[in-house]
Amino acid sequence: MNDTLHPHENASKGQTPYSAWIQTDVLHSLQRTVSDHPGEHAWIVHVQVSELYWMLIIKEIQTAQACLRDDNLAQAQRTLLRVVAHHAPLDAIWRSIAWMTPNDLLAILSRAAATHGKDTALQGWTYRHMAYLLGIKQAEHLQHFAPQPDRWAQLDKALGQPSLYDDVLAHLARIGMNVPGEVFARDLRAPYRPRKEIEQVWRDIYAEPAARLELQQLGETLADIAEGFTLWKFRHLMATRRTFGARPAYFGTEGLAWLAPTLDEIPFPELWSARTFIGDPKAASPAVCPHMHKR
């Protein structure tokens, strides 16, 4: 008797192995349009792809956090580089709906709102979980998920747990960097408050270009992640400007007024503020550009 299994014997009935593994039949049944606009399918695919990548980023960040808690910086860095890569398609897929005018989008969203109610991607639970993991802690958004108690509980838990940045700082503290203990004793559910002591930690890491290279690489990867996150929000803002203008869009608030402040919510704040000083580590005030001169 031959016990060798052929590939088709493991496939689900009526499916090829590829379709069974990737769940293509299910995947392609999820674009349920509510309007007659020919572009609605593109809109739904764009948003669903975004959702999939946000969940992928969530899983990658959680994996990186576990590596950092084990002080496995090399594996954490490798995982975080994948997060950087995942932001590239998130940016690229905006092109698939760049053709939309206000006439196009309003024709779609008016029907979606009539069918399901008004909402925005920035209030989706996947996006919010990702934002919490990146350290953008805002408890007021939880109320939006009251109709989804399981997701409310998921987000409430994430709100009270360490962010990626908290785990980075904890790793830096364990390897001897001067991270103040009060950083870890604070209320993790509250918005993160930048500290000069943490800014100094990053200045110390970059003080000697040939030293602490692994930590500098970590800093650059975090900067890439923050930039990718912020770039997506900028694309969202510009898409809103292009298709909505200044009309009320989000819960009665002007769309641009609601979105614009989110561009200032940049993860890992001291990593960015320290760059004012990096290159002149002994200076107590920002270094002056060497090309500047008095007239």
pLDDT tens digit string along 123-142? 789 999 999 999 999 998 89
Average pLDDT in the chain: 89
**Rounded mean pLDDT, 148-170:** 97
Phi, psi of 136 (to 5 degrees): -90, 85
- The larger pLDDT score, comparing residue 269 to residue 256, is at 269
Q: What pLDDT, on the 0 to 100 scale, is given for residue 115?
A: 86
> Which burial class, exposed, middle or buried, applies to 123 when counting CB atoms under 10 A from its CB (0-12, 13-18, 19+)?
middle
Q: What pLDDT, on the 0 to 100 scale, is given for residue 45?
A: 96
Per residue in 73-113, pLDDT tens? 999 999 999 999 999 999 999 999 999 999 998 899 888 88
Phi, psi of 138 (to 5 degrees): -140, 100
**Rounded mean pLDDT, 210-235:** 96
Q: What pLDDT, on the 0 to 100 scale, is given for residue 295?
A: 46
Q: What pLDDT, on the 0 to 100 scale, is given for residue 252?
A: 57
Q: Is the pLDDT of residue 293 over 80?
A: no
Residue 259, token pair as written in the block: 């979105």
The residues, any chain, with a CB within 8 Å of residue 100's CB and separated by 6 or more, are: 39, 43, 239, 242, 243
What does the buried/exposed string (b/e) look like for 78-107 if buried means 16 or more CB atoms within 10 Å of the residue's CB? ebbbebbebbeebeebbeebeebeeebbbb
**Rounded mean pLDDT, 45-70:** 97
Q: In the 8-state DSSP scheme, what is residue 249?
A: E
**Rounded mean pLDDT, 42-68:** 97
**Rounded mean pLDDT, 39-59:** 96
Are 283 and 277 in contact by the 8 Å Cβ rule? The answer is yes
Q: Please tell me the least confidently modeled range out of 15-19, 126-130, 225-229, 280-284.
A: 280-284
The ranges assigned to domains in the chain are 18-276
Per residue in 180-216, pLDDT tens? 999 999 999 999 999 999 999 999 999 999 999 999 9
Rounded alpha-carbon distances, angstroms, from residue 65 to 79, 162, 169, 178: 10, 9, 11, 20
Q: What pLDDT, on the 0 to 100 scale, is given for residue 284?
A: 54
Are 200 and 218 in contact by the 8 Å Cβ rule? The answer is no
Are 62 and 134 in contact by the 8 Å Cβ rule? The answer is no
Q: Where does 70-195 have alpha helices with state H?
A: 73-92, 102-116, 125-133, 149-159, 164-174, 182-185
Q: What pLDDT, on the 0 to 100 scale, is given for residue 95?
A: 94
Residue 189, token pair as written in the block: 């559910």
Are 236 and 277 in contact by the 8 Å Cβ rule? The answer is no
d(C-alpha 133, C-alpha 136), whole Å: 7
Q: In terms of pTM, does the model score above 0.75? A: yes
**What CATH code would you report for 18-276?**
1.20.58.480
d(C-alpha 237, C-alpha 117), whole Å: 21
Residue 227, token pair as written in the block: 């930039």
Q: What pLDDT, on the 0 to 100 scale, is given for residue 97?
A: 94
Q: Is the pLDDT of residue 294 over 70?
A: no
**Three-state secondary structure call for residue 30:** coil
Residue 18, token pair as written in the block: 């590829």
Q: Please tell me the least confidently modeled range out of 8-12, 123-127, 154-158, 245-249.
A: 8-12
Q: Is the pLDDT of residue 29 over 60?
A: yes
